Amino acid sequence: MSNKMWGGRFTTGPDAIMEEINASIGFDYRFASQDIRGSLAHVAMLSRQGIIDESAAKAIATGLEQVRTEIEAGTFTFSRALEDIHMNVESRLAEIVGPDAGRLHTARSRNDQVALDFRLWVRDTIDQLDEQLRDLQKALAGRALDHAGAVMPGFTHLQSAQPVTFGHHLMAYVEMLGRDRSRFADARKRLNECPLGSAALAGTSFPIDRDMTASALGFDRPTANSLDSVSDRDFVLETLSAAAICAVHLSRFAEEIVLWATPQFGFATLSDKFTTGSSIMPQKRNPDAAELVRGKSGRVIGALTGLLIVMKGLPLAYSKDMQEDKEGTFDALQSLSLCVAAMTGMVGDLTPDLKRMKAAAGSGYAIATDLADWLVRALDMPFRDAHHVTGRLVAMAAERKIPLERLTLDEMQSVDSRITAQVQDVLGVDQSVRSRVSYGGTAPNNVRTQARAWLKRIAKDEAASK
Indicate which residues carry an active-site annotation.
Answer: 157, 278
| Nearer of residues 21 and 185 to ligand ARG, judged by Cβ | 21
φ/ψ of residue 216, rounded to 5: -60, -30
**Least Cβ distance, residue 22 to ligand ARG (angstroms):** 8
- Parallel/antiparallel/unpaired status of strands 151-156 and 351-352: unpaired
**Least Cβ distance, residue 10 to ligand ARG (angstroms):** 14
Is the separation of the CB atoms in 459 and 141 below 8 Å? no
CA distance 156 to 350: 23
What is the separation of C-alpha 245 from the centre of its chain, rounded to a whole number of angstroms?
Answer: 7
| Nearer of residues 91 and 323 to ligand ARG, judged by Cβ | 323
* One residue of 41, 57, 322, 360 binding ligand ARG per CB under 6 A: 322
CA distance 421 to 410: 10
Helices (H), 312-408: 326-349, 354-362, 368-379, 383-400
**Least Cβ distance, residue 324 to ligand ARG (angstroms):** 9
**Least Cβ distance, residue 242 to ligand ARG (angstroms):** 22
Per-position b or e across 384-415, b if 16+ CB within 10 A of its CB: eebbebbeebbebbeeeeebbeebeeeebeeb
**Least Cβ distance, residue 34 to ligand ARG (angstroms):** 12
User: Which of the ranges 305-313, 315-323, 340-348, 384-392 carries the binding residues for ligand ARG, by CB under 6 A?
Assistant: 315-323
| Nearer of residues 117 and 180 to ligand ARG, judged by Cβ | 117
* Cross-strand pairs, 222: 194
The SS3 assignment for 154 reads strand
| Nearer of residues 26 and 440 to ligand ARG, judged by Cβ | 26
Name, in order, each residue with C-beta under 8 angstroms of 206's C-beta and a sequence gap of 6 or more. 46, 49, 51, 106, 107
Which residues, numbered 99-138, are part of the site for ligand ARG (CB under 6 A)? Answer: 110-111, 114
* One residue of 35, 84, 112, 370 binding ligand ARG per CB under 6 A: 84
Determine if 339 is a binding residue for ligand ARG (CB under 6 A).
no
**Least Cβ distance, residue 279 to ligand ARG (angstroms):** 43
Determine if 231 is a binding residue for ligand ARG (CB under 6 A).
no
| Nearer of residues 24 and 251 to ligand ARG, judged by Cβ | 24
CA distance 354 to 158: 19
What is the separation of C-alpha 410 from the centre of its chain, rounded to a whole number of angstroms?
Answer: 56
* One residue of 162, 213, 229, 323 binding ligand ARG per CB under 6 A: 323
Closest CA to 21 of 309, 314, 316, 323: 323
Largest CA distance in the chain: 102
| Nearer of residues 10 and 383 to ligand ARG, judged by Cβ | 10
User: Which of the ranges 57-65, 296-304, 319-327, 426-434 carries the binding residues for ligand ARG, by CB under 6 A?
Assistant: 319-327
Determine if 24 is a binding residue for ligand ARG (CB under 6 A).
yes
CA distance 339 to 439: 32
CA distance 222 to 215: 8
User: Which of the ranges 202-210, 265-273, 279-287, 314-322 carries the binding residues for ligand ARG, by CB under 6 A?
Assistant: 314-322
Is the separation of the CB atoms in 146 and 353 below 8 Å? no
**Least Cβ distance, residue 354 to ligand ARG (angstroms):** 53
Q: Give the interface size with ligand ARG as a residue count (CB under 6 A).
A: 10
Is the separation of the CB atoms in 136 and 177 below 8 Å? yes
Determine if 257 is a binding residue for ligand ARG (CB under 6 A).
no
**Least Cβ distance, residue 311 to ligand ARG (angstroms):** 13
| Nearer of residues 181 and 233 to ligand ARG, judged by Cβ | 233
Determine if 35 is a binding residue for ligand ARG (CB under 6 A).
no
Is the separation of the CB atoms in 49 and 208 below 8 Å? yes
CA distance 13 to 457: 59
| Nearer of residues 56 and 82 to ligand ARG, judged by Cβ | 82
Q: Give contact residues for ligand ARG (rule: CB under 6 A).
A: 24, 28, 84, 110-111, 114, 318, 320, 322-323
